[in-house]
C-alpha cells in the first residue's frame, strides 16, 4: 500500500514537473504611475514576470493606442519606457509576444491593460455681475476634470482675480484691490489656508508661472506709474513655497544684476527656468543655485517647450531650432509650410514634436471683409483645421497645448462682449474655454472661464 502510494505520488509529481517545464513566463505584477504618464515623456511601466526571461526586442511589443516605447529586461522585470506622454483617461493595452523563459526556453505572451488618469483642470471664472446690495460678485478659481469624470468645485474666491498658477498642493493667486494694486497669495489646497507674499510697493505683477512639479513660482515686476521709481521693468522674481520666508527673490543675470525678461518658462521637473532677455539672449538659470546661469545664444523669439520634453523651440528670421536643455544641443527645426491656408494671417504658434508638427492661430479674411480666427494643425502631410468658432462674432483670445500634446485649450470671447476692465490680462464678460482633441479635431468639452493652468 505504502509503496503503491509513493509510486503514484512520484509519477504525479514527475508529470506536474514536466508540465511546468513547458509553461512559459507569466505576468505576476505590474507597476505604473497613471498620473505621471500623462504629464511627462520617459515614464515607465514595470512588468514583473514569475520567472527570468530572455531579452525582448522592440518589435515584440505592441502598445494600443500606439506609443513609441523602448524596452529593457533585467531578470524577471521588463521595463517599458514610453517615449511620449500618454493620453488622458485612455485605455491602453501592452502586449509582449513572445516572452521566452530564460531557464527552460518555454514561450508565452504577456498582456497588461491600464487606464490613464483623467486630468485636473483649473480655470479662472471672472464675474462682472453686481449683486442686489451693489457689490461685485467674486471671481472664482475652479477645479474640474477635463473629461468630466469628477464633479468640479470652486477652490478660491476673491473680489478680483488677475491670474493664478497651480503648484503641487497650492494655488498662487494674483488679486487686485480697489486701487488696482496687486497682491500675491498662496492658497493651500489641503489646509485651505492663505499666505500673502510680500511684494515691493507699487509694482505691477505679470506673467505668473510655476514649475508645476517643484514648489517654485515665477513672475515679473514692473514699477507702477505712481511709484516715481522706474528701475523695475519686467524684472524676473521667483519664490520657493518651501522656503521659510514670505519675500520673493529676484533672478540675477550674468552681470549679477536683477534680470529683466521679455519671456520666460520653467523647465519641467527641474528648478531651472529659461529666460529671454531684452537683448534677445536666452539664459538657462537654476534659480536655487547662485550663479548657475548658462547663455543659450541670441534668438529673436522663444516659442516654448515641446510638450512632454525639455526641448526649447526658438525662432530666428532665417531658421528655427530646438535646444535640448539637458545638454544645450541646438538642432535646426524647419517647420512644414502651411501653404494650404492661403492668405490667412499667421499668429501665435506652438510646436508639438521634434518633427516640427505645430498648431497655429490664423486670421482668415471673409468675403465680407471681416477676419475670422481659426486654429490649424500642420505637419509634413499638410494642414487641417483644428478649431473654427461656430459664430462669426466669436474671437480667439489665446490657446495652449496640454502638457501631453493631446489637447489644445482654446479661449474664446464674443467680439461684442464688454471688457471687464482689469488693468492686466483683461477679459470679456463671457469667456469660454474649449478643449479640442488634436488627433481627431473633436471638441470634447467647453467650460466657462479662461486661463486654463496648462497655459502657465
Interface with another protein (CB under 8 A): 1-2, 5-6, 9-10, 12-13, 16-17, 19-21, 23, 48, 50-52, 75-76, 103-104
Between CA 119 and CA 150 the distance in angstroms is 10
Under a CB-based contact definition with an 8 Å cutoff, are residues 24 and 101 in contact? yes
Q: Kindly tell me which of 12 and 246 has the beta carbon lying closer to another protein.
A: 12
Q: Min. distance of Cβ 307 from another protein in angstroms?
A: 36
Between CA 251 and CA 83 the distance in angstroms is 33
Between CA 278 and CA 216 the distance in angstroms is 23
Q: How many CB atoms lie within 10 A of CB 361?
A: 22
Q: Min. distance of Cβ 37 from another protein in angstroms?
A: 23
Q: Kindly tell me which of 7 and 130 has the beta carbon lying closer to another protein.
A: 7
204 alpha carbon, distance to own chain's centre: 26
Q: Min. distance of Cβ 329 from another protein in angstroms?
A: 40
Q: Min. distance of Cβ 8 from another protein in angstroms?
A: 9
In 3D space, the residue among 377, 381, 379, 301 whose CA is nearest the CA of residue 335 turns out to be: 379
22 alpha carbon, distance to own chain's centre: 47
Q: Min. distance of Cβ 236 from another protein in angstroms?
A: 49
Q: Min. distance of Cβ 13 from another protein in angstroms?
A: 4
Q: Min. distance of Cβ 4 from another protein in angstroms?
A: 10
Between CA 350 and CA 369 the distance in angstroms is 28
Q: Kindly tell me which of 19 and 151 has the beta carbon lying closer to another protein.
A: 19
* Distance spanning both ends of the chain, measured CA to CA: 81
Alpha helix ranges (H) inside 79-205: none
Under a CB-based contact definition with an 8 Å cutoff, are residues 399 and 408 in contact? yes
Q: Kindly tell me which of 5 and 135 has the beta carbon lying closer to another protein.
A: 5
Q: Kindly tell me which of 19 and 225 has the beta carbon lying closer to another protein.
A: 19
Q: Kindly tell me which of 104 and 280 has the beta carbon lying closer to another protein.
A: 104
Q: Min. distance of Cβ 263 from another protein in angstroms?
A: 49
Cell numbers for 454: 496648462
Between CA 357 and CA 401 the distance in angstroms is 12
In 3D space, the residue among 34, 33, 30, 32 whose CA is nearest the CA of residue 117 turns out to be: 34
Q: Kindly tell me which of 111 and 292 has the beta carbon lying closer to another protein.
A: 111
Q: Kindly tell me which of 51 and 128 has the beta carbon lying closer to another protein.
A: 51
Amino acid at each position: 500500500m505504502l509503496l503503491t502510494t509513493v509510486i503514484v505520488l512520484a509519477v504525479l509529481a514527475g508529470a506536474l514537473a514536466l508540465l511546468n517545464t513547458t509553461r512559459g513566463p507569466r505576468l505576476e505584477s505590474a507597476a505604473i504611475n497613471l498620473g505621471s504618464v500623462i504629464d511627462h515623456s520617459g515614464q515607465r511601466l514595470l512588468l514583473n514576470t514569475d520567472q527570468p526571461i530572455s531579452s525582448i526586442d522592440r518589435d515584440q511589443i505592441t502598445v494600443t493606442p500606439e506609443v513609441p516605447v523602448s524596452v529593457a529586461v533585467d531578470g524577471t522585470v521588463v521595463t517599458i519606457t514610453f517615449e511620449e506622454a500618454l493620453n488622458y483617461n485612455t485605455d491602453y493595452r501592452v502586449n509582449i509576444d513572445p516572452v521566452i523563459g530564460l531557464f527552460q526556453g518555454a514561450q508565452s505572451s504577456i498582456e497588461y491593460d491600464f487606464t490613464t488618469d483623467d486630468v485636473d483642470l483649473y480655470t479662472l471664472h471672472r464675474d462682472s455681475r453686481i449683486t442686489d446690495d451693489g457689490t461685485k460678485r467674486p471671481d472664482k478659481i475652479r477645479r474640474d476634470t477635463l473629461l468630466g469624470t469628477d464633479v468640479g468645485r470652486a477652490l478660491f474666491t476673491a473680489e478680483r482675480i488677475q491670474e493664478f498658477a497651480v503648484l503641487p498642493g497650492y494655488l498662487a493667486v494674483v488679486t487686485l484691490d480697489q486701487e488696482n494694486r496687486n497682491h500675491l497669495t498662496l492658497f493651500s489646497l489641503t489646509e485651505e489656508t492663505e499666505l500673502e507674499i510680500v511684494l515691493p510697493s507699487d509694482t505691477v505683477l505679470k506673467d505668473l508661472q510655476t514649475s508645476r512639479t517643484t514648489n517654485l513660482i515665477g513672475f515679473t515686476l514692473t514699477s507702477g506709474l505712481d511709484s516715481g521709481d522706474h528701475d523695475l521693468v519686467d524684472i524676473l522674481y521667483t519664490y520657493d513655497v518651501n522656503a521659510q520666508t514670505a519675500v520673493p527673490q529676484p533672478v540675477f543675470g550674468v552681470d549679477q544684476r536683477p534680470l529683466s525678461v521679455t519671456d520666460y518658462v520653467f523647465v519641467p521637473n527641474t528648478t531651472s527656468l529659461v529666460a529671454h532677455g531684452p537683448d534677445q539672449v536666452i539664459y538657462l538659470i537654476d534659480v536655487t543655485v547662485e550663479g548657475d546661469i548658462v547663455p543659450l545664444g541670441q534668438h529673436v523669439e522663444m516659442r516654448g517647450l515641446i510638450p512632454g520634453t525639455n526641448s526649447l523651440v526658438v525662432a530666428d528670421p532665417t531658421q528655427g531650432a530646438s535646444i535640448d536643455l539637458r545638454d544645450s544641443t541646438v538642432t535646426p527645426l524647419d517647420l512644414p509650410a502651411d501653404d494650404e491656408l492661403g492668405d490667412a494671417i499667421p499668429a501665435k504658434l506652438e510646436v508639438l514634436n521634434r518633427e516640427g508638427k505645430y498648431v497655429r492661430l490664423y486670421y482668415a479674411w471673409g468675403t465680407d471683409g471681416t477676419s475670422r480666427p481659426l486654429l490649424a494643425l500642420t505637419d509634413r502631410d499638410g494642414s487641417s483645421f483644428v478649431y473654427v468658432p461656430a459664430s462669426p462674432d466669436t474671437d480667439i483670445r489665446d490657446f495652449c497645448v496640454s502638457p501631453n500634446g493631446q489637447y489644445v485649450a482654446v479661449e474664446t470671447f464674443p467680439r461684442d462682449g464688454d471688457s471687464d476692465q482689469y488693468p492686466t490680462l483683461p477679459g470679456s464678460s463671457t469667456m469660454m474655454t474649449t478643449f479640442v482633441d488634436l488627433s481627431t479635431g473633436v471638441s470634447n468639452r467647453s467650460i466657462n472661464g479662461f486661463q486654463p493652468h496648462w497655459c502657465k
